[in-house]
Structure 1
């Protein structure tokens, strides 16, 4: 008798452990601030702001989210300093258990930019499938599916342009996920770009990962490789390091200052240009991020 199968990750979350290890907690681009608060009436507010170290431009966003858990409804409204309005409505487990509907719309009042993406997600043991309809681009219909059994994962994605009447994009992936490690292989961009990722929880305090990308259409042939590791110093702090085959070394340090307050610092060093200054400034990057959550 086979064991019950868990719900596999969605298409976008295949290889997430490796992507998070190599991509998160490295605030290189500048200084960022995030403040989260919530009210007893199930309304959560989030204010984010960041200053780009290269352009010195400051961008911010104010988001309000209302959650009605008893009816499976979530309503989100956001407004950015670029006068960009975003509205999202989510409804889950209404027509069937595991079925979720999501409408994500955005508008630029002083311009012509507008989007409307309708998403349907269905999750069951061993199956995670999604369908998207982009009303203002094409319109375009996109669907992806991930099936899983005993840790093995198989996924595929395809987009169909309704106006042109043809498949505009397709991709596939295979992988294996276990509590201590995960391996994923993607074929993206109509199977023109291939990526392989690996994640390993070496011990409760140490994680390691790697990602390799090969683009068959790139002008310079070769494989892009990036490896990284994360180590917990104690229950409130950890350090991360990564390096790619271009010689760029990334370092990150995150410290929980107190419950709900976290600070992260990042440094990117181009080891091949230690003493060089590019036309836009130094070849190295330094940044910080602060998060307050109440």
Structure 2
């Protein structure tokens, strides 16, 4: 009997994504933001987003995306309030099955800066590899690969400075993915910092996760630990909570108000400074996010 084909593993940047999403997404306590998405009958999507950060600065961007399914072509243009123009061209599954090519350019006329990155992604059973060349910065060539079999994952990433002729960054990772839980270990920054993450879908309505990071540059002895949970109240609402070893407690509530309209509320409390006032800025944070998607 021949073995069953292996699923395509996650990409390098998505290793530990379940835990990362649980601990980072849907906590809009840093900003107040608004996002509007629309789609035309000709298959062009538009996204307008704006946010006001904790310091009162307001930034925004407008994005248009054209998708041609027949030719596997996606064209994305973005323009933001700091006057950066970005264009991305993607070609998917045209040269060979599983291969995606990408060219991303950006220019900031006010600063005279620009960038151009060529990228390729190749996915097959049990294999996911990416490579990109930053043409104007370095130039720098970066590649990563993840191999997967029966839920076990191993991956590596390296960046090579073409001009200097040296490896400028490398990292390793390993993990295990199952339908109900996932464990991921990372050795980053030339194997000088380490992270471990865990995700568990406890039931259909409850998720839990944790992440620990060791980095000599961090406070608290170089260790950062964060644990969190997510509970669905019903099909249209959920609450999230997390706390870290610095004593910061974060709460999030997301409600689908109607089809295409979602609101999220976030609150962060520094439990070690509940009665203190910091002249440098607010000790506790609150925020709101609204998303319209037509």
* Class of the TM-score when normalised by the shorter of the 2 chains: over 0.9
| 1:242 corresponding residue in structure 2 | 242
Q: CA deviation at 1:220?
A: 5.3
Equivalent residue number for residue 64 of structure 1? 64
> Within 5 Å, which residues of 2 pair with 1:10-49?
10-49=11-50
Does structure 1 residue 187 correspond to structure 2 residue 187? yes
Shift of residue 4 of structure 1?
A: 1.3
- In the alignment, what sits opposite 2:287? 287
TM-score under structure 1 length normalisation: 0.98
| Contact 2:218–2:224, Cα closer than 8 Å, also in 1 | no
Q: Pairwise mapping of residues 200-219 of structure 1 onto structure 2 (< 5 A)?
A: 200-218=200-218
* Conservation of the 8 A alpha-carbon contact between 1:276 and 1:282: no
- Corresponding residue for 2:117? 117
- Unmatched runs of 5 consecutive residues or more in structure 2: none
1:41-120 alignment to 2 at 5 Å? Answer: 41-53=42-54, 55-120=55-120
Q: Which residue of 1 aligns with 2:262?
A: 262
Residues 1-30 of structure 1 deviation map (CA, whole Å, 9 limit, x = unaligned): 322100000000000000000000000112
Structure 1 residue 223, shift from structure 2 partner: 2.0
Q: Is contact 2:32-2:53 (8 Å) kept? A: yes
Deviation at 1:217, TM superposition (A): 4.8
CA contact (8 A) 1:264 1:290 kept: yes
2:136 counterpart SS class: coil
Distance change in 2, residues 1:218/1:287 (3 Å): closer
Paired with 1:194 and 1:80, the residues of 2 have a C-alpha distance of 35
Q: Name the CA shift for 1:277/1:217 in 2 (closer, same or farther; >3 Å).
A: closer
Q: Which residue of 2 aligns with 1:2?
A: 3
d(CA) in 1 for partners of 2:8, 2:92: 16
Which string of whole-angstrom CA distances, capped at 9 and with x for unpartnered residues, describes residues 155-212 of structure 1?
0000000000000000000000011000000000000010000000000000000000
Task: Show structure 1 runs of 5+ residues with no match.
Answer: none
Q: How many angstroms does 1:218 deviate by? A: 4.5
SS at the partner of 2:202?
Answer: strand
1:118, 1:133 within 8 Å by CA — same for their partners in 2? yes
Q: Any idea what SS the aligned residue of 1:12 has?
A: helix
SS in 2 for 1:278: coil
Please tell me whether the aligned partners of residues 192 and 217 of structure 1 are also in contact (alpha carbons under 8 angstroms).
no
Runs of 4+ in 1 over 4 A off after TM superposition: 217-220
Corresponding residue for residue 148 of structure 1: 148
Structure 2 residue matching 1:96: 3-state secondary structure: coil
| Alpha-carbon offset, residue 219 of structure 1 | 6.5
Flag the 1:286–1:220 CA change in 2: closer, same or farther, 3 A: closer
Residues of 1 paired with 2:199 and 2:106: CA distance?
35
Query: Residues of 2 paired with 1:211 and 1:219: CA distance?
Result: 16
